[in-house]
A and B are shown apart, each in its own frame.
Chain A
Amino acid sequence: MAAGVAAWLPFARAAAIGWMPVANCPMPLAPADKNKRQDELIILNVSGRRFQTWRTTLERYPDTLLGSTEKEFFFNEDTKEYFFDRDPEVFRCVLNFYRTGKLHYPRYECISAYDDELAFYGILPEIIGDCCYEEYKDRKRENAERLMDDNDSENNQESMPSLSFRQTMWRAFENPHTSTLALVFYYVTGFFIAVSVITNVVETVPCGTVPGSKELPCGERYSVAFFCLDTACVMIFTVEYLLRLFAAPSRYRFIRSVMSIIDVVAIMPYYIGLVMTNNEDVSGAFVTLRVFRVFRIFKFSRHSQGLRILGYTLKSCASELGFLLFSLTMAIIIFATVMFYAEKGSSASKFTSIPASFWYTIVTMTTLGYGDMVPKTIAGKIFGSICSLSGVLVIALPVPVIVSNFSRIYHQNQRADKRRAQKKARLARIRVAKTGSSNAYLHSKRNGLLNEALELAGTPEEEHMGKTTSLIESQHHHLLHCLEKTTNHEFIDEQMFEQNCLESSMQNYPSTRSPSLSSHPGLTTTCCSRRSKKTTHLPNSNLPATRLRSMQELSTIHIQGSEQPSLTTSRSSLNLKADDGLRPNCKTSQITTAIISIPTPPALTPEGESRPPPASPGPNTNIPSIASNVVKVSAL
Chain B
Amino acid sequence: MWAEGESEGLQTLGIVVVVCSSLKLLHYLGLIDLSDDKIEDELEMTMVCHRPEGLEQLEAQTNFTKRELQVLYRGFKNECPSGVVNEETFKQIYAQFFPHGDASTYAHYLFNAFDTTQTGSVKFEDFVTALSILLRGTVHEKLRWTFNLYDINKDGYINKEEMMDIVKAIYDMMGKYTYPVLKEDTPRQHVDVFFQKMDKNKDGIVTLDEFLESCQEDDNIVRSLQLFQNVM
Chain A, range 1-35, C-beta contacts under 8 Å to B: 2, 4-5, 7-27, 29-30, 33
Report the minimal beta-carbon distance from B183 to chain A, rounded to whole angstroms: 6
With an 8 A cutoff between CB atoms, is A327 at the interface?
no
Assess A490 versus B12: contact at CB under 8 Å? Given A21-B146, A258-B34: no
Between-chain CB contacts (< 8 Å), 12 pairs: A10-B135, A11-B127, A14-B134, A18-B110, A20-B221, A21-B194, A23-B220, A39-B70, A60-B78, A434-B99, A489-B174, A491-B178
Q: Is the CB of B194 within 8 A of A25?
A: no
Q: Choose one: A8, A101, A602; the contact of B180 (CB below 8 Å).
A: A602
Q: Per-residue 0/1 for B216-232: is the Cβ within 8 Å of any A Cβ (1 yes, 0 no)?
A: 00001101110110111
Q: Which chain A positions have C-beta within 8 A of B174? A: 483-484, 487, 489, 491
Report the minimal beta-carbon distance from B148 to chain A, rounded to whole angstroms: 10
In the bound complex, how far is the Cα of B198 from the Cα of A13, in angstroms?
Answer: 24
Q: Is the CB of A14 within 8 A of B131?
A: yes
What secondary structure prevails in chain B residues at the interface with A? Answer: helix
Q: Which of A12, A25, A54 has the most CB of B within 10 A?
A: A12
Report the minimal beta-carbon distance from A413 to chain B, rounded to whole angstroms: 9
Q: Which chain B positions have C-beta within 8 A of A479? A: 97
**Nearest residue, chain B, Cβ from A486:** B170
Report the minimal beta-carbon distance from B167 to chain A, rounded to whole angstroms: 6
Report the minimal beta-carbon distance from A325 to chain B, rounded to whole angstroms: 14
With an 8 A cutoff between CB atoms, is A86 at the interface?
no
In the bound complex, how far is the Cα of B187 from the Cα of A399, in angstroms?
Answer: 68
With an 8 A cutoff between CB atoms, is B32 at the interface?
yes
Report the minimal beta-carbon distance from B186 to chain A, rounded to whole angstroms: 8
Chain B, range 23-56, C-beta contacts under 8 Å to A: 23, 31-38
**Nearest residue, chain B, Cβ from A12:** B97
Q: Which chain B positions have C-beta within 8 A of A18? A: 109-110, 113, 146, 149-150, 166
Q: Choose one: A284, A438, A488; the contact of B8 (CB below 8 Å).
A: A284
Q: Is the CB of B96 within 8 A of A30?
A: no
**Nearest residue, chain B, Cβ from A15:** B110
Q: Is the CB of B37 within 8 A of A257?
A: yes
**Nearest residue, chain A, Cβ from B31:** A256
Q: Is the CB of A492 within 8 A of B177?
A: yes
Assess A438 versus B99: contact at CB under 8 Å? Given A30-B230, A256-B32, A492-B179: yes
With an 8 A cutoff between CB atoms, is B171 at the interface?
yes
Q: Is the CB of A476 within 8 A of B97?
A: yes
Q: Is the CB of A504 within 8 A of B79?
A: no
Chain A positions near chain B (C-beta within 8 angstroms) = 2, 4-5, 7-27, 29-30, 33, 38-39, 54, 56, 60, 100-101, 253, 255-258, 261, 265, 284-285, 287-289, 291-292, 308, 311-312, 315, 434-435, 437-438, 475-476, 479-480, 482-484, 486-494, 496-497, 500-501, 504, 542-543, 602, 608-609
Q: Which chain B positions have C-beta within 8 A of A21? A: 143, 146, 150, 194, 198, 211, 215, 221
- 7 smallest A-B Cβ distances: which pairs? A7-B75, A2-B96, A438-B99, A14-B134, A288-B12, A27-B224, A489-B178
Q: Is the CB of B176 within 8 A of A27?
A: no
Q: Is the CB of B78 within 8 A of A7?
A: yes
Q: Is the CB of A8 within 8 A of B33?
A: no
Q: Which chain A positions have C-beta within 8 A of B186? A: 487, 489
**Nearest residue, chain A, Cβ from B92:** A5
In the bound complex, how far is the Cα of B109 from the Cα of A493, in angstroms?
Answer: 28
With an 8 A cutoff between CB atoms, is B17 at the interface?
no
Give how many A-B residue pairs fall within 8 Å (CB-CB): 201
Q: Is the CB of B146 within 8 A of A17?
A: yes
Chain B positions near chain A (C-beta within 8 angstroms) = 7-8, 11-12, 15-16, 19, 23, 31-38, 67, 70-72, 74-76, 78-79, 93-94, 96-100, 109-110, 113, 127, 130-131, 134-135, 142-143, 145-146, 149-150, 166-167, 170-171, 173-183, 186, 190, 193-194, 198, 211, 215, 220-221, 223-225, 227-228, 230-232
Q: Is the CB of A489 within 8 A of B182?
A: yes
Assess A497 versus B170: contact at CB under 8 Å? Given A17-B142, A39-B71, A256-B33: no
In the bound complex, how far is the Cα of B227 from the Cα of A10, in angstroms?
Answer: 12
Q: Is the CB of A23 within 8 A of B224?
A: yes
Q: Is the CB of A26 within 8 A of B223?
A: yes
Q: Which chain B positions have C-beta within 8 A of A312? A: 36, 38
Q: Is the CB of A608 within 8 A of B180?
A: yes
In the bound complex, how far is the Cα of B89 from the Cα of A101, in angstroms?
Answer: 15
Q: Choose one: A14, A54, A315, A491; the contact of B135 (CB below 8 Å).
A: A14
Q: Is the CB of B78 within 8 A of A26?
A: no
Q: Is the CB of A258 within 8 A of B110?
A: no
Q: Which chain A positions have C-beta within 8 A of B7? A: 284
Q: Is the CB of B180 within 8 A of A542?
A: yes
In the bound complex, how far is the Cα of B127 from the Cα of A39, in angstroms?
Answer: 21
**Nearest residue, chain A, Cβ from B171:** A487
Assess A8 versus B181: contact at CB under 8 Å? Given A16-B228, A17-B146: no
Assess A14 versus B179: contact at CB under 8 Å? Given A21-B143, A480-B98: no
Q: Is the CB of A497 within 8 A of B227?
A: no
Q: Is the CB of B177 within 8 A of A491?
A: yes
In the bound complex, how far is the Cα of B96 from the Cα of A484, in angstroms?
Answer: 17
Q: Which chain B positions have C-beta within 8 A of A26? A: 220, 223-224
In the bound complex, how far is the Cα of B16 from the Cα of A40, in angstroms?
Answer: 78
Q: Is the CB of B98 within 8 A of A56?
A: no
A12-B97, A20-B224, A504-B181 known; 9 new pairs, CB 8 Å cut-off, are A10-B72, A16-B228, A21-B146, A22-B194, A33-B230, A54-B74, A292-B19, A490-B179, A497-B179
Report the minimal beta-carbon distance from B147 to chain A, rounded to whole angstroms: 8
Q: Is the CB of B38 within 8 A of A492?
A: no
Q: Is the CB of B183 within 8 A of A438?
A: no
Q: Which of A18, A500, A504 has the most CB of B within 10 A?
A: A18
Q: Is the CB of A501 within 8 A of B134?
A: no
Q: Is the CB of B179 within 8 A of A489?
A: yes
In the bound complex, how far is the Cα of B67 from the Cα of A56, in angstroms?
Answer: 13
Q: Is the CB of A288 within 8 A of B225?
A: no
Q: Choose one: B33, B72, B78; the contact of A101 (CB below 8 Å).
A: B78
Report the minimal beta-carbon distance from B79 to chain A, rounded to whole angstroms: 7
Q: Choose one: A4, A435, A475; the contact of B99 (CB below 8 Å).
A: A435
In the bound complex, how far is the Cα of B7 from the Cα of A203, in angstroms?
Answer: 22
Q: Which chain B positions have C-beta within 8 A of A311? A: 36
Q: Which chain A positions have C-beta within 8 A of B94? A: 12, 15
Q: Choose one: A284, A292, A438; the contact of B100 (CB below 8 Å).
A: A438
Q: Which chain A positions have C-beta within 8 A of B71? A: 39, 56
In the bound complex, how far is the Cα of B16 from the Cα of A482, in angstroms?
Answer: 72
In the bound complex, how far is the Cα of B209 from the Cα of A591, in angstroms?
Answer: 63
